[in-house]
Homo-oligomer: A and B are copies of this chain.
Protein backbone atom coordinates (compact mmCIF):
# COMPACT_ATOMS: atom_id res chain seq x y z
CA UNK A 1 0.00 0.00 0.00
CA UNK A 2 1.91 2.99 -1.20
CA UNK A 3 -0.68 5.71 -1.47
CA UNK A 4 -1.90 6.72 1.95
CA UNK A 5 -5.05 8.79 1.46
CA UNK A 6 -4.13 11.95 3.25
CA UNK A 7 -1.37 11.73 5.75
CA UNK A 8 -3.09 10.11 8.69
CA UNK A 9 -1.64 6.68 9.19
CA UNK A 10 -3.54 4.09 11.16
CA UNK A 11 -2.11 4.16 14.71
CA UNK A 12 -0.46 0.80 15.15
CA UNK A 13 0.14 -1.72 12.45
CA UNK A 14 2.17 -4.41 14.15
CA UNK A 15 -0.14 -6.95 15.78
CA UNK A 16 -1.39 -9.93 13.81
CA UNK A 17 -5.16 -9.52 13.49
CA UNK A 18 -7.06 -12.30 11.82
CA UNK A 19 -9.79 -10.10 10.38
CA UNK A 20 -8.47 -6.70 9.45
CA UNK A 21 -11.55 -4.54 9.41
CA UNK A 22 -9.89 -1.13 9.30
CA UNK A 23 -7.87 -2.35 6.35
CA UNK A 24 -11.05 -3.10 4.47
CA UNK A 25 -12.14 0.45 5.05
CA UNK A 26 -8.78 1.88 4.09
CA UNK A 27 -8.66 -0.12 0.93
CA UNK A 28 -12.15 0.84 -0.19
CA UNK A 29 -11.29 4.45 0.42
CA UNK A 30 -7.94 4.20 -1.26
CA UNK A 31 -9.13 2.98 -4.64
CA UNK A 32 -8.63 5.80 -7.14
CA UNK A 33 -11.69 7.11 -8.88
CA UNK A 34 -10.23 6.29 -12.29
CA UNK A 35 -9.72 2.71 -11.22
CA UNK A 36 -13.30 2.37 -10.04
CA UNK A 37 -14.56 3.45 -13.42
CA UNK A 38 -12.39 0.85 -15.13
CA UNK A 39 -13.35 -1.91 -12.72
CA UNK A 40 -16.88 -1.60 -14.03
CA UNK A 41 -15.58 -2.11 -17.54
CA UNK A 42 -13.49 -5.12 -16.56
CA UNK A 43 -16.51 -6.56 -14.84
CA UNK A 44 -18.56 -6.42 -17.98
CA UNK A 45 -15.87 -8.12 -20.02
CA UNK A 46 -15.41 -10.78 -17.37
CA UNK A 47 -19.10 -11.56 -17.17
CA UNK A 48 -19.18 -11.88 -20.94
CA UNK A 49 -16.26 -14.30 -20.92
CA UNK A 50 -17.73 -16.25 -18.03
CA UNK A 51 -20.85 -16.83 -20.09
CA UNK A 52 -18.70 -18.15 -22.89
CA UNK A 53 -17.28 -20.65 -20.44
CA UNK A 54 -13.84 -19.10 -20.07
CA UNK A 55 -12.42 -20.04 -16.68
CA UNK A 56 -9.15 -18.14 -16.66
CA UNK A 57 -7.91 -14.95 -18.22
CA UNK A 58 -4.50 -13.31 -18.30
CA UNK A 59 -4.03 -9.62 -17.63
CA UNK A 60 -2.92 -9.22 -21.23
CA UNK A 61 -6.12 -10.66 -22.67
CA UNK A 62 -8.39 -8.86 -20.27
CA UNK A 63 -6.61 -5.58 -20.86
CA UNK A 64 -6.97 -5.92 -24.61
CA UNK A 65 -10.66 -6.62 -24.31
CA UNK A 66 -11.17 -3.65 -22.01
CA UNK A 67 -9.07 -1.37 -24.16
CA UNK A 68 -6.40 -0.56 -21.59
CA UNK A 69 -2.73 -1.16 -20.88
CA UNK A 70 -2.04 -4.47 -19.13
CA UNK A 71 0.11 -2.87 -16.45
CA UNK A 72 -2.68 -0.50 -15.59
CA UNK A 73 -5.10 -3.38 -15.39
CA UNK A 74 -2.87 -5.30 -13.01
CA UNK A 75 -2.44 -2.29 -10.80
CA UNK A 76 -6.17 -1.70 -10.81
CA UNK A 77 -6.84 -5.27 -9.77
CA UNK A 78 -4.14 -5.16 -7.14
CA UNK A 79 -6.25 -2.63 -5.24
CA UNK A 80 -8.72 -5.42 -4.58
CA UNK A 81 -6.06 -7.76 -3.24
CA UNK A 82 -4.13 -10.60 -4.83
CA UNK A 83 -6.59 -12.71 -6.72
CA UNK A 84 -4.46 -13.73 -9.66
CA UNK A 85 -2.22 -16.76 -10.07
CA UNK A 86 1.24 -16.12 -11.43
CA UNK A 87 1.97 -18.05 -14.56
CA UNK A 88 -1.74 -18.58 -15.14
CA UNK A 89 -3.83 -15.45 -14.88
CA UNK A 90 -7.05 -14.58 -13.10
CA UNK A 91 -9.86 -16.96 -12.26
CA UNK A 92 -12.82 -15.36 -13.95
CA UNK A 93 -15.45 -16.28 -11.38
CA UNK A 94 -13.39 -15.22 -8.40
CA UNK A 95 -12.51 -11.92 -10.03
CA UNK A 96 -16.12 -11.23 -10.90
CA UNK A 97 -17.01 -11.80 -7.27
CA UNK A 98 -14.28 -9.54 -5.99
CA UNK A 99 -15.12 -6.69 -8.32
CA UNK A 100 -18.80 -6.97 -7.51
CA UNK A 101 -18.00 -6.88 -3.83
CA UNK A 102 -15.76 -3.86 -4.24
CA UNK A 103 -18.30 -1.95 -6.28
CA UNK A 104 -21.01 -2.77 -3.79
CA UNK A 105 -22.99 -4.78 -6.30
CA UNK A 106 -23.81 -7.56 -3.88
CA UNK A 107 -26.97 -5.70 -3.02
CA UNK A 108 -29.57 -4.26 -5.37
CA UNK A 109 -29.67 -0.51 -5.75
CA UNK A 110 -33.13 0.83 -6.26
CA UNK A 111 -33.18 3.69 -8.77
CA UNK A 112 -35.63 6.59 -9.06
CA UNK A 113 -35.86 8.48 -12.35
CA UNK A 114 -37.14 12.04 -12.16
CA UNK A 115 -38.39 13.62 -15.35
CA UNK A 116 -40.28 11.42 -17.76
CA UNK A 117 -39.56 13.24 -20.96
CA UNK A 118 -37.73 11.77 -23.92
CA UNK A 119 -34.74 10.67 -21.93
CA UNK A 120 -36.48 9.66 -18.72
CA UNK A 121 -38.85 7.52 -20.70
CA UNK A 122 -35.97 5.78 -22.39
CA UNK A 123 -34.18 5.22 -19.10
CA UNK A 124 -37.30 3.76 -17.51
CA UNK A 125 -37.51 1.22 -20.30
CA UNK A 126 -33.80 0.57 -20.60
CA UNK A 127 -33.11 -3.06 -19.80
CA UNK A 128 -29.43 -2.48 -19.10
CA UNK A 129 -30.22 -1.07 -15.68
CA UNK A 130 -32.24 -3.80 -14.04
CA UNK A 131 -30.17 -6.53 -15.64
CA UNK A 132 -27.14 -5.12 -13.84
CA UNK A 133 -28.74 -4.86 -10.45
CA UNK A 134 -30.16 -1.37 -10.73
CA UNK A 135 -33.92 -1.77 -10.99
CA UNK A 136 -35.81 1.43 -11.72
CA UNK A 137 -38.52 1.37 -9.09
CA UNK A 138 -39.94 4.86 -9.15
CA UNK A 139 -40.73 7.58 -11.69
CA UNK A 140 -41.54 11.21 -11.02
CA UNK A 141 -42.61 14.23 -13.05
CA UNK A 142 -44.34 17.58 -12.62
CA UNK A 143 -46.65 17.20 -15.59
CA UNK A 144 -50.13 16.41 -14.26
CA UNK A 145 -50.97 14.56 -17.47
CA UNK A 146 -48.27 12.00 -16.76
CA UNK A 147 -49.07 11.38 -13.10
CA UNK A 148 -50.59 7.97 -12.59
CA UNK A 149 -49.70 6.45 -15.95
CA UNK A 150 -47.36 3.49 -16.05
CA UNK A 151 -44.18 3.22 -18.07
CA UNK A 152 -42.58 -0.18 -18.31
CA UNK A 153 -44.87 -1.15 -15.45
CA UNK A 154 -43.74 1.64 -13.15
CA UNK A 155 -46.19 4.26 -11.99
CA UNK A 156 -45.38 7.94 -12.40
CA UNK A 157 -45.75 10.04 -9.25
CA UNK A 158 -45.70 13.76 -8.72
CA UNK A 159 -42.44 15.37 -7.63
CA UNK A 160 -43.95 16.21 -4.29
CA UNK A 161 -44.13 12.56 -3.41
CA UNK A 162 -40.40 12.03 -3.83
CA UNK A 163 -39.58 11.94 -0.09
CA UNK A 164 -42.40 9.58 0.73
CA UNK A 165 -41.97 7.16 -2.18
CA UNK A 166 -38.18 7.09 -2.10
CA UNK A 167 -38.17 6.27 1.58
CA UNK A 168 -40.71 3.54 1.09
CA UNK A 169 -38.84 1.89 -1.77
CA UNK A 170 -35.41 2.44 -0.23
CA UNK A 171 -34.10 4.30 -3.24
CA UNK A 172 -30.33 4.70 -3.15
CA UNK A 173 -29.73 6.34 -6.53
CA UNK A 174 -31.62 9.20 -8.08
CA UNK A 175 -31.47 9.99 -11.79
CA UNK A 176 -32.32 13.52 -12.85
CA UNK A 177 -33.60 13.64 -16.42
CA UNK A 178 -35.44 16.94 -16.26
CA UNK A 179 -34.72 20.12 -18.19
CA UNK A 180 -32.08 22.34 -16.63
CA UNK A 181 -34.55 24.66 -14.93
CA UNK A 182 -36.12 22.24 -12.52
CA UNK A 183 -33.00 20.20 -11.84
CA UNK A 184 -31.74 21.92 -8.70
CA UNK A 185 -35.17 21.77 -7.11
CA UNK A 186 -35.48 18.09 -7.90
CA UNK A 187 -32.00 17.52 -6.56
CA UNK A 188 -32.92 19.19 -3.27
CA UNK A 189 -35.97 16.98 -2.99
CA UNK A 190 -33.92 13.85 -3.59
CA UNK A 191 -31.35 14.89 -1.04
CA UNK A 192 -34.10 15.62 1.45
CA UNK A 193 -35.44 12.15 0.75
CA UNK A 194 -32.12 10.70 1.82
CA UNK A 195 -30.76 9.87 -1.62
CA UNK A 196 -27.00 10.22 -1.50
CA UNK A 197 -26.02 9.38 -5.05
CA UNK A 198 -27.31 11.25 -8.06
CA UNK A 199 -26.83 10.77 -11.77
CA UNK A 200 -27.53 14.09 -13.45
CA UNK A 201 -28.46 14.43 -17.12
CA UNK A 202 -29.62 18.02 -16.77
CA UNK A 203 -27.23 20.62 -18.14
CA UNK A 204 -26.61 22.41 -14.86
CA UNK A 205 -24.06 22.15 -12.09
CA UNK A 206 -25.93 20.91 -9.04
CA UNK A 207 -25.28 22.29 -5.58
CA UNK A 208 -25.34 19.48 -3.04
CA UNK A 209 -24.23 18.89 0.54
CA UNK A 210 -20.86 17.30 0.92
CA UNK A 211 -22.14 13.83 1.71
CA UNK A 212 -23.95 13.55 -1.61
CA UNK A 213 -22.19 12.21 -4.68
CA UNK A 214 -23.15 13.55 -8.09
CA UNK A 215 -22.12 12.26 -11.47
CA UNK A 216 -23.01 14.29 -14.50
CA UNK A 217 -23.68 13.01 -17.98
CA UNK A 218 -23.96 15.83 -20.46
CA UNK A 219 -24.64 14.71 -23.99
CA UNK A 220 -24.20 18.14 -25.53
CA UNK A 221 -20.80 18.43 -23.88
CA UNK A 222 -19.78 15.07 -25.29
CA UNK A 223 -20.68 16.25 -28.77
CA UNK A 224 -18.81 19.49 -28.28
CA UNK A 225 -15.71 17.59 -27.26
CA UNK A 226 -16.01 15.54 -30.43
CA UNK A 227 -16.52 18.74 -32.38
CA UNK A 228 -13.24 20.03 -30.99
CA UNK A 229 -11.49 16.96 -32.27
CA UNK A 230 -13.08 17.35 -35.68
CA UNK A 231 -11.62 20.84 -36.04
CA UNK A 232 -8.31 19.82 -34.55
CA UNK A 233 -8.10 17.10 -37.19
CA UNK A 234 -8.96 19.43 -40.01
CA UNK A 235 -6.39 21.86 -38.71
CA UNK A 236 -3.73 19.19 -38.63
CA UNK A 237 -4.56 17.69 -41.99
CA UNK A 238 -4.82 20.72 -44.20
CA UNK A 239 -1.24 21.52 -45.13
CA UNK A 240 -1.33 25.26 -44.52
CA UNK A 241 -4.24 26.65 -46.48
CA UNK A 242 -7.67 27.83 -45.55
CA UNK A 243 -6.94 28.59 -41.93
CA UNK A 244 -8.31 32.08 -42.32
CA UNK A 245 -11.75 30.74 -41.53
CA UNK A 246 -10.44 30.38 -38.03
CA UNK A 247 -10.45 34.09 -37.63
CA UNK A 248 -7.22 33.64 -35.75
CA UNK A 249 -5.47 36.97 -35.86
CA UNK A 250 -2.71 36.89 -33.32
CA UNK A 251 -0.64 40.01 -33.51
CA UNK A 252 2.59 39.82 -31.60
CA UNK A 253 3.71 43.27 -30.46
Contact = CB atoms under 8 A, between A and B. Distances in A.
A240 B103 contact: no
A58 B248 CA distance: 24
Nearest to A133: B227
Contacts of A121: 118, 122
A157 interface: no
B225 A25 contact: no
Nearest to A248: B24
A221 interface: yes
A105 B227 contact: yes
Chain A interface, DSSP helix/strand/loop, else mixed: helix
A106 B248 CA distance: 13
Contacts of A19: 244, 248-251
Interface stretch (A39-47, A49-57, A86-94, A182-190): A39-47
Nearest to A124: B118
Interface in A207-249: 211, 213, 215, 217-233, 235-236, 240, 243-249
A67 interface: yes
Contacts of A213: 226, 229, 233
Contacts of A249: 18-19
B235 A25 contact: yes
Interface stretch (A138-146, A158-166, A197-205): A197-205
B233 A196 contact: yes
A28 interface: yes
Contacts of A154: none
Contacts of A199: 219, 222-223, 226
B231 A104 contact: yes
A84 to B, nearest CB: 16
Interface of A: 16-21, 23-25, 28-29, 31, 33, 36-37, 39-41, 43-44, 65-67, 81, 101-106, 109, 111, 118-119, 121-123, 125-126, 128-129, 132-134, 172-173, 196-199, 203, 205, 211, 213, 215, 217-233, 235-236, 240, 243-253
Given A24-B246, A133-B227, 10 more contacts: A21-B243, A25-B236, A39-B228, A102-B228, A118-B126, A122-B122, A128-B219, A129-B223, A132-B223, A213-B233
